[in-house]
Structure 1
């Protein structure tokens, strides 16, 4: 588990600058900043629908526990998770924490 994944979710966290995001994403392989700079996302490929649904469920349960919810899309062979903090108008440290927690849970 990374240090980032151990951090606490903080209400009212501000949106991060582009430079801060790029630096943080270097420690989250596979995660990308959206073109508009307002969200981060990652997509996984699987051999079965069941595996994709399991990842979607994992992200959903983590979100409920932290009260910080991503957009999740999945189907046969894929799952995509996107984090953004709408109240901040972009990506906050909370979004990075949730991405790191999901990565840690996946092993």
Structure 2
């Protein structure tokens, strides 16, 4: 099954972070995303490019609606011509499979 067809599961503070082995497998499924560490927290980041601010804002709004549907919310920085999206699970302070699912679903917003 494709990541984008999976559903997020409720993530509690005691949920396990992805292991190094899982990270290596899952990141291959979302090749445009980069694992980064911010303040000691592993996150997934991707910069989406657009022709202008209006298109970047429209994408941001679509992503916001998706995040609300899934009840999993990213960091979003909207600028002229680009949107930087960062996924991580706040409750566990790192990456959960949900973050990879949402990264894949975010990618599909562009391909629609």
TM-score, with normalisation over the residues of structure 1? 0.89
Larger relative strand fraction: 2
List gaps (5 residues or longer) in structure 2: none
By how many angstroms is 1:47 displaced? 1.6
Deviating 4+ runs (over 4 angstroms): none
Larger relative helix fraction: 1
Secondary structure of the structure 2 residue equivalent to 1:65: helix
Query: 2:50 is matched with which residue?
Result: 46
Q: Output the CA distance in 2 between the equivalents of 1:24 and 1:37.
A: 17
Q: How does 1:9-20 map to 2 (within 5 A)?
A: 9-12=8-11, 13-20=15-22
TM-score, with normalisation over the residues of structure 2? 0.86
By how many angstroms is 1:14 displaced? 2.3
Aligned-pair RMSD on alpha carbons? 1.5
Are 2:53 and 1:34 equivalent residues in the alignment? no
Q: Output the CA distance in 2 between the equivalents of 1:58 and 1:91.
A: 23
How many equivalent residue pairs?
Answer: 106
Q: How does 1:1-107 map to 2 (within 5 A)?
A: 3-12=2-11, 13-35=15-37, 36=40, 38-107=42-111
Is this contact kept in 1: 2:3–2:29, CA < 8 A?
Answer: no
By how many angstroms is 1:10 displaced? 0.8
Secondary structure of the structure 2 residue equivalent to 1:38: strand
